[in-house]
Structure 1
Amino acid sequence: MFRIDVLGSRHGDCLIIHYGTSIPPKRILVDGGPHKVYRPFLRPHLRNLKETEGLNKPVEFELAMVSHIDQDHIIGLIELTDEMIEEEDSTRDPARIKRFWHNSFSDLTGGTSPAALTATVDAIVASANVAGTPPFQELANSDGRATEILASVNQGRKLRDNLIRLGLDGNRPFNNALVLSGKSAELPGNMNLTVIGPDKERLEKLQKEWNPALDPSEIAAITDNSVSNLASIVVLAEHDGKKLLLTGDARGDDIVEWLEELGLKEKNKPFPVDALKVPHHGSNNNVDPAYFRAVPAKTYIYCGDGGHDNPEPETLKMMREARQGDNYRVILSSFVEMEHSAKQPEFEAELKKLASAGIEVDARDPDDLFISVDM
């Protein structure tokens, strides 16, 4: 058994991987989505699993991980661990987690002290909220998420504090070290995990650049352009001869480079996988046609509901043109309603072109908690 439950996660990510024997299987939890994902989707799904499998204990996860600190990945995990702390040693405990992977912002930036980090983030957010503040105009125009990303720094620290309370800190089995490219772990049930990214060189550069004494606009640029993208944990999960590539919000060209550096992919040759979680909710800023040719998948998983206009119609077009003549399927975590209505016809036109090419496209029914993908 090797199955992925793609939960309703609004504009974020939330996946549960089931593997091994069917009852009860081993499980991995990847990300928890933004606000309004844990209570409407993740928590009821955990309760349903417990009832369906007749468990007299909370649902167990061999591993939970947050790919990075953006609010659209981390909030649900904060809410889950809050409840685990509240209900610890109770039959109402929503889940039991054996290991947790989380690269906190302070660890990524060289151990910035909580006091210095809080003061810096508060100053940046305050500056970003001042209308017409010139240093943030470029960020607002290019991405529009600078304030959200900066707020996620504090959320990342909150999650780290929860993990310490639960005895889940330390990134086991990596002995309190960052989860970095080249590391690997074997979970019970014959699940092999290889960390593809982030790589040490990029994070060393980030640590060198980061300095709480910098001007707020300089720190905001580092935070927006580096932490949210470069620091995404990218993992290749292998079980029963199948491969799943989990990408967070990493850049496609980085992923390809890391696969080659690790010797998993030969240069100029494709690295086929059975399923691929498309990076950054299908943003066209993270992928190009070369990426889809380099890492062809039998199944593409798009997590997004149209927030920030993701999945982008341009991304679907790149995938379709790069994989022309190939057979694959597309899974959507939600019905997609573009933030900017002008994008909606483009998106729907791309779906029609995929259907015309014989590509199966499945989306989670709005009344369902999740859509399942069998590997």
Structure 2
Amino acid sequence: MTTAIRIEVLPARQGDCLLVECPREPGPPWRMLVDGGPPATWPLLEQRLSRLPSGGRDIDVAVVTHIDSDHIGGMIPFLRSEYAEHVGDFWFNGRTHLPRTGVRRGVAQGERLMAALLGEPGGPELPWNRAFAGGPVETGYDGGFTEVPTRDGPRITVLSPTLIRLQSLGHAWSETVRKARRGRAEEAGPDILEPLDDVVSLSEEKTSKDPSVANGSSIALLVEHRGAGLVLGADAFGTVLGTGLQAVAGARGLDTLPVDAFKLPHHASKGNVLGALLRAAPARHYLVSTNGDLYHHPDDVALARVVLGAPSGAALWFNYRTDRTARWADAQLCEKYRYTAHFPEDPGTGAVLELPARS
């Protein structure tokens, strides 16, 4: 099998830390780092980066999807490390990129990346949103998407955020940064595991949509290479992400946009994983990034929607085996709804998935 896209979902506790590679010849693969998980993820990420081949440690793009402690915590030490010097471009929407905030300036005259993340000065000058001419990473208005050319790399399409979501972040920027700097949030209470004997009713449960301004500003991407497709949902709103995917499908003359893998948004939260979103981009593989130790993700409602709406034979990939996720590997459940469940062979590496090239 010739691999088109390789994705590692590192064990970043309740957060996201992903490493994506796309082979290219000659030379090392095109490489993208997406988020750094909470602060405790950095030693693991550093160890993983240390295994990159000497002379081939370039990271073409490092994405900080949004201001939230479980996504930026590990990125702070990364930015201070030698590995940041090997990054071709950082994609992140800082204060200077937000519409109608009264502080919109060119990046060279505005904040440095470290200052934008921490709310305080410091750190070296780093390439920032160069692929967007120093402007924001966004899709325009609802139903939009933005294609980003790469040199000898994959085809990348920005699916989220919209300008409206960035405007909302602008109004709440200071408080959002304060929350991110505080770090650990309060736990949601005891994790009570309900039986999975009525998956259909679970999937039909009415749920409130994600209200988080930070999550709504998430950078979500479609990565395509050698015929394979991967959706990186970050913590994006299901409505925005679904509308973006539908727009891409429509632009290509399709009713839906089938993909090989879909990293479910917001750690498979029921407020983000919506039926319309799953129908917009049916996948062969669904990736879940969380150990559930704070907010008890993944939600059963979200996974019920996935297993009922996924193509027959689809696979769930978890980067942690927990009491909550292990229930979804029940043999009778898998047989009834015709899916498979997978867990890391090595808990220290998380989930690793290689997508084959297609003609």
Quote the Cα distance in structure 1 between the aligned partners of 2:224 and 2:119: 27
Q: Percent identity?
A: 27
Q: 1:231 to 1:49 in 2, by over 3 A?
A: same
Partner SS, residue 291 of structure 1:
helix
The one-character-per-residue Cα deviations of 1:125-149 (angstroms, maximum 9, x if unpaired) are xxxxxxxxxxxxxxxxxxxxxxxxx
Quote the Cα distance in structure 2 between the aligned partners of 1:305 and 1:183: 32
Question: What's the CA shift for 1:303?
Answer: 0.2
How is 1:82-97 mapped onto 2 (pairs within 5 angstroms)? 82-84=80-82, 93=83, 96-97=86-87
Computed over aligned residues only, the root mean square deviation of the Cα atoms, in angstroms, reads: 3.2
* 8 Å CA contact 1:303, 1:333 repeated in 2: yes
The one-character-per-residue Cα deviations of 1:145-182 (angstroms, maximum 9, x if unpaired) are xxxxxxxxx985338966x714222x012122110013
Partner SS, residue 20 of structure 2:
strand
Quote the Cα distance in structure 1 between the aligned partners of 2:303 and 2:97: 35
Q: 1:36 to 1:365 in 2, by over 3 A?
A: farther
Q: Say if 2:165 is the partner of 1:165.
A: no
Q: Say if 2:321 is the partner of 1:362.
A: no
Q: Which residue of 2 aligns with 1:316?
A: 303
* 8 Å CA contact 1:105, 1:157 repeated in 2: no
Q: 1:3 to 1:212 in 2, by over 3 A?
A: closer
Q: Which residue of 1 aligns with 2:63?
A: 65
Between Structure 1 and Structure 2, the one with more helix by share is: 1
2:149 corresponds to which of 181, 186, 207: 186
Partner SS, residue 39 of structure 2:
coil
Quote the Cα distance in structure 2 between the aligned partners of 1:47 and 1:204: 38
* 8 Å CA contact 1:69, 1:155 repeated in 2: no
* 8 Å CA contact 1:77, 1:159 repeated in 2: no
Question: What's the CA shift for 1:320?
Answer: 1.2
The one-character-per-residue Cα deviations of 1:34-90 (angstroms, maximum 9, x if unpaired) are 121110x2111111223xxxx2x3611111101111111111111111123xxxxxx
* 8 Å CA contact 1:65, 1:101 repeated in 2: yes
Question: What's the CA shift for 1:262?
Answer: 5.0
Q: Which residue of 1 aligns with 2:232?
A: 246
How is 1:124-143 mapped onto 2 (pairs within 5 angstroms)? none
Quote the Cα distance in structure 2 between the aligned partners of 1:306 and 1:330: 16
Q: Which residue of 1 aligns with 2:97?
A: 107
Question: What's the CA shift for 1:263?
Answer: 5.7
Q: Which residue of 1 aligns with 2:158?
A: 195
Quote the Cα distance in structure 1 between the aligned partners of 2:254 and 2:120: 40
Quote the Cα distance in structure 2 between the aligned partners of 1:10 and 1:30: 15
Q: Which residue of 1 aligns with 2:133?
A: 175
Q: 1:356 to 1:187 in 2, by over 3 A?
A: same
* 8 Å CA contact 2:316, 2:339 repeated in 1: yes
Q: Which residue of 2 aligns with 1:28?
A: 32
Question: What's the CA shift for 1:302?
Answer: 0.3
Amino acid at match of 1:356: E
Amino acid at match of 1:191: P
Runs of 4+ in structure 1 off by over 6 angstroms are: 265-268
The one-character-per-residue Cα deviations of 1:234-273 (angstroms, maximum 9, x if unpaired) are 1111111111111110122221122334564689933211
Quote the Cα distance in structure 1 between the aligned partners of 2:169 and 2:65: 17
How is 1:1-375 mapped onto 2 (pairs within 5 angstroms)? 1=3, 2-21=5-24, 24-39=28-43, 41-50=44-53, 55=54, 57=55, 59-84=57-82, 93=83, 96-105=86-95, 107-108=97-98, 110-111=100-101, 156-158=116-118, 165-169=124-128, 171-181=129-139, 182-204=145-167, 207=170, 225-261=211-247, 264=250, 269-307=255-293, 308-323=295-310, 326-337=312-323, 344=324, 347-352=325-330, 353-357=332-336, 358-375=338-355
Question: What's the CA shift for 1:24?
Answer: 2.4
Q: 1:25 to 1:206 in 2, by over 3 A?
A: closer
Partner SS, residue 45 of structure 1:
helix
Amino acid at match of 2:60: E
Structure 2's unaligned 5+ residue stretches are 104-113, 140-144, 179-209
Q: 1:244 to 1:225 in 2, by over 3 A?
A: same
Quote the Cα distance in structure 2 between the aligned partners of 1:211 and 1:236: 26
Amino acid at match of 1:373: L
Question: What's the CA shift for 1:186?
Answer: 2.0
Question: What's the CA shift for 1:356?
Answer: 2.5
Partner SS, residue 262 of structure 2:
strand
Q: 1:58 to 1:75 in 2, by over 3 A?
A: farther
TM-score scaled to structure 2, two decimals?
Answer: 0.74
Q: Which residue of 2 aligns with 1:88?
A: none
Amino acid at match of 1:27: R
Partner SS, residue 356 of structure 1:
helix
Provide the aligned length of Structure 1 versus Structure 2.
302
Quote the Cα distance in structure 1 between the aligned partners of 2:309 and 2:218: 25
Q: 1:354 to 1:155 in 2, by over 3 A?
A: farther
